[in-house]
């Protein structure tokens, strides 16, 4: 969640291979585990790092918390909601050089890319931000996926775009591999320099029909598909479930969990190891975490899962940073937080949510300086 489009059976469209995506997920994304730091050794002055949570949903809706999940500042660009609008948030959320980028638009005319240096003040990027062959051509198209890599962002859309600051974008010749007719979720893992795409073949013309996962070690220039993956692990990942990475271990899960110990080369399948559906994945200091049912579950290896805490409600997204967990429900966007993952409390939005707002992605990061 890149460039002729293909028709989605649900009315959406996504990038086809050979031309130029998660829902970035509905799904929640832990942009960093918060373990990175800068000791300021070049200047002798320590750099202050502050934990921050950011959620995004349809309508260009965002919410950010600078006080460890207690209170949230919200903003929305539109009241449009649902799976097939110019403000559908399947494109997802990414944090990288220059701040945050969020992608919108699916199955309808138009699309939007938002940028925020601080995660609070968002701008709908103008036409001049998108350049092809030296000419500003604008955006105005659906967004299949947004991802951050070590030194850049990528957007998979009708074209594939790249930016080193989240504001200025240029087209690339990157494309998905043959048979990847629909991009269902896109994740970038900057610390591992790995790009992971959950894709689907609907026609069966260049790949057997169904869901599969491909990985790229060179920012989309080439892709590889490992062995042993089960498509059930990635269906319906555009609406629930996630891709997560810790070390060289990759997890793809919606209920069944596919686990790769070698960066996507080989996969093992575990049937519903959490006992039911998985809404989101992340990781804390001890291993993987999952929002499953009304529980937060943990696993050191992605195979054996135990209940860490009973939340009392089903979270659509969950993340961890600097010793604190936070999550959010969907629809409705009710935030929750916990200082230990065991006992959970309700957070507070600064404004009521309009309608049945669907949350599409979530990030937990450490930012330099003060937050908000």
On the 0-12 / 13-18 / 19+ scale of CB atoms within 10 A, 7 is: middle
Q: What percent of the chain has a predicted confidence (pLDDT) above 70?
A: 88
| Rounded average pLDDT over 274-280 | 94
Per-residue 3-state assignment (H helix, E strand, C coil) for 13-75: EEECCCCCCCCCCCCCCCCCCCCCCCCCCCCCCCCCEEEEEEEEEHHHEEEEECCCCCEEEEE
Q: What's the CATH number where 266 sits?
A: 2.130.10.10
pLDDT, tens digit, for every residue of 206-216?
Answer: 999 999 999 99
Tell whether the model's pLDDT for residue 349 goes beyond 90. Answer: yes
Half-sphere exposure (CA, 13 Å, Cβ side) for 301? 5
84 closest CA partner among 135, 142, 39? 142
- For tokens 């202050």, name the residue: 48
User: Length of the chain in residues, anyone?
Assistant: 372
Taking a C-beta distance cutoff of 8 angstroms, is the pair 166, 114 a contact?
A: no
Strands 130-132 and 169-171: parallel
Specify the pLDDT at position 150.
96
Token pair 């790769």 is at which residue? 260
Residues 86-131: pLDDT tens digits?
A: 999 999 999 999 999 999 999 877 899 999 999 999 999 999 999 9
Total count of domains within the chain: 1
Assess whether pLDDT exceeds 50 at residue 197.
Answer: yes
Per-residue pLDDT, averaged over 320-335, amounts to 97
- Please give the backbone phi and psi of residue 115, each rounded to the nearest 5 degrees, phi first: -135, 140
The answer to pTM > 0.85 is yes
Torsion 278-188-361-311 (CA) sign: positive
Q: Is the pLDDT reported for residue 3 higher than 50?
A: no
pLDDT single digits (tens) 21-70: 222 333 333 443 333 334 444 456 778 899 999 999 999 999 999 999 99
Please report which confidence band the pLDDT of residue 140 belongs to, taking 50, 70 and 90 as the band edges.
Answer: confident
Listed residue (198, 215, 220) closest to 152, CA to CA: 220
Task: Report d(CA 269, CA 226) in Å as an integer.
Answer: 13
Gap between the Cα atoms of 199 and 197, Å rounded? 6
CB 64 within 8 A of CB 364: no
- 133 phi-psi bin (left φ>0, alpha ψ -120 to 50, beta other): left
Which residues face 170 on adjacent strands? Answer: 131, 162
Domain that holds residue 355: 5-368
Residues 197-228, buried b or exposed e (16+ Cβ, 10 A)? bbbbbbeeeebeebbbbbbbeebbeebebbee
Predicted pLDDT of residue 43: 55
With beta carbons less than 8 A apart as the criterion, state whether 359 and 27 touch.
Answer: no
């Amino acid at each position: 969640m890149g460039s002729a489009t293909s028709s989605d059976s649900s009315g959406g469209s996504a990038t086809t291979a050979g031309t130029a995506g998660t829902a970035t997920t509905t799904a929640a994304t832990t942009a960093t585990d918060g373990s990175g730091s800068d000791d300021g050794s070049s200047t002798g002055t320590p750099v202050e790092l502050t934990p921050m949570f950011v959620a995004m949903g349809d309508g260009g809706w965002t919410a950010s918390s600078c006080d460890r999940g207690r209170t949230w500042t919200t903003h929305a660009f539109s009241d449009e909601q649902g799976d097939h609008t110019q403000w559908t948030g399947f494109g997802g959320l990414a944090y990288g050089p220059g701040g945050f980028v969020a992608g919108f638009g699916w199955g309808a005319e138009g699309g939007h890319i938002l940028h925020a240096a601080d995660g609070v003040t968002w701008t709908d990027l103008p036409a001049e931000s998108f350049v092809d062959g030296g000419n500003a051509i604008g955006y105005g198209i659906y967004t299949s996926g947004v991802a951050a890599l070590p030194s850049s962002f990528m957007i998979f859309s009708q074209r594939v775009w790249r930016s080193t600051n989240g504001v200025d974008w240029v087209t690339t010749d990157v494309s998905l591999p043959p048979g990847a007719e629909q991009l269902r979720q896109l994740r970038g893992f900057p610390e591992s320099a790995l790009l992971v795409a959950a894709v689907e073949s609907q026609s069966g013309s260049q790949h057997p029909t169904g869901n599969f996962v491909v990985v790229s070690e060179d920012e989309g220039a080439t892709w590889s598909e490992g062995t042993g993956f089960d498509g059930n692990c990635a269906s319906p990942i555009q609406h629930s479930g996630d891709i997560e990475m810790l070390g060289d271990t990759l997890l793809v899960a919606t209920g069944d969990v596919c686990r790769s110990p070698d960066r996507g080369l080989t996969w093992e399948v575990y049937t519903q190891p959490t006992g039911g559906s998985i809404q989101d994945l992340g990781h804390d200091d001890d291993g993987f975490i999952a929002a499953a049912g009304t529980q937060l579950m943990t696993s050191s290896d992605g195979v054996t899962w135990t209940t860490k805490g009973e939340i009392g409600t089903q979270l659509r997204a969950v993340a961890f940073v600097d010793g604190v967990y936070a999550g959010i429900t969907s629809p409705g966007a009710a935030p929750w937080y916990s200082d230990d993952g065991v006992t959970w409390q309700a957070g507070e939005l600064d404004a009521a949510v309009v309608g049945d707002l669907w949350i599409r992605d979530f990030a937990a990061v450490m930012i330099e300086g003060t937050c908000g």
